[in-house]
Structure 1
Amino acid sequence: MQTISTTDLAHRLRPVIARLARRMRQQAGGDLSPTQGAALNTVACHGPLTPSELAAREKIQRPTATRVLARLEEAGLIQRTADPADRRSSLVSTTPAGTDLLASVRDRKDAYLAQRLDRLSPEDLAALDRAAGILERVLEEGAE
């Protein structure tokens, strides 16, 4: 069995993962930009958050987070409440409409991917299941 270098494997995996992510974003539909979708998902998973906490989690600048949150609020996908720990700040959380949108987006992405996975052999599915676990570990180890 030939051994592949980690650099060669990274070179092969990177565009495949990027294309898959792009295709799933395209299948998600909707009017959210990738940044808005990521922010909404972060608020849903980790909220309520201050805008500064969102910026830190998303690794974006605070003014960018403020603009993204304003757009999500205008769309009725998040709501702001006063931060009891700091009256100068607010906490953002998803609205029922935001939660519903995220569920719909996830369902469409899952359906797109499942449709393609249905075409694979049991052996390929088992290999992808192992690969998913490995990639999850890689992401956890690389979390900053």
Structure 2
Amino acid sequence: MAVMSSTLGADLLSVVARLNRLTNQRVRMPLPFAQARLLSTIEDQGQARISDLAALDHCSQPTMTTQVRRLEDAGLVARTGDPEDARAVLIRITPAGVTALQQARADRGAVIDPYLERLSDQDRDCLAAAVDVMRRLIEDASSPRTASR
């Protein structure tokens, strides 16, 4: 049964946002959510300029500089020179940052785990398949050939 609905995208985003809010309200993480989100963005980018991170996060460059400095002071990110522009620096995640991000993800996942255990095997299989579909959707949306559409 194929579902074609003009609201499917909005419904998906709404459910994901509510799930994120639920986990953020119930989890105790040593790393604040905003910092974990920024670390995740840096991990996704590989490395990025502060101006690019600010654009991705829809904030000002000074605000992003402050956020990056906090992560840097904690040893979670490091600055490296930009080989394309000697005046610029690139921000990359450190091994400690990867570990902190993995722990944040595990802590957030642990909030949902008891509810997943209550699902039937069929529902868990369906959800696992949906996660795979969502990963493919993200890969497609992130590919250079479709990102500019």
Per the shorter chain, which TM-score range? Answer: 0.7 to 0.9
For residues 1-144 of structure 1, the aligned pairs below 5 Å read: 6-7=6-7, 13-26=12-25, 27=27, 29-34=29-34, 36-139=35-138, 144=147
- 4+ residue runs over 3 A deviation: 3-7, 9-16, 56-61, 133-144
Residues 46 and 127 from structure 1, CA distance in 2 versus in 1: closer, same or farther, beyond 3 angstroms?
A: same
| Partners of 1:5 and 1:48 in 2: CA distance | 37
Contact kept in structure 2, 1:28 and 1:106, CA below 8 Å: no
User: Any stretches of 5+ residues in structure 1 without a counterpart?
Assistant: none
| Partners of 2:64 and 2:33 in 1: CA distance | 13
The TM-score normalised by the length of structure 2 is 0.72
The TM-score normalised by the length of structure 1 is 0.74
Q: CA RMSD in A?
A: 2.9
Contact kept in structure 2, 1:80 and 1:92, CA below 8 Å: yes
Residues 115 and 63 from structure 1, CA distance in 2 versus in 1: closer, same or farther, beyond 3 angstroms?
A: same
> What is the aligned length?
141
Give, as a single letter, the amino acid of the residue that structure 2 aligns with 1:30. Answer: P
Contact kept in structure 2, 1:28 and 1:105, CA below 8 Å: no
Give, as a single letter, the amino acid of the residue that structure 1 aligns with 2:62. Answer: P
| Partners of 2:100 and 2:113 in 1: CA distance | 20
- After superposition, what is the alpha-carbon deviation per residue over 1:17-73, rounded to whole angstroms, capped at 9, x for unaligned? 322111223425124242x22211122232222212323443443333222112212
| Partners of 1:122 and 1:28 in 2: CA distance | 29
Residues 50 and 132 from structure 1, CA distance in 2 versus in 1: closer, same or farther, beyond 3 angstroms?
A: same
Per the TM alignment, residue 120 of structure 1 is displaced from its structure 2 partner at its CA by 0.8
SS of the aligned residue for 2:43 comes to: helix
Aligned identity (percent) is 36
Residues 73 and 120 from structure 1, CA distance in 2 versus in 1: closer, same or farther, beyond 3 angstroms?
A: same
| Partners of 2:111 and 2:48 in 1: CA distance | 31
| Partners of 1:93 and 1:53 in 2: CA distance | 13
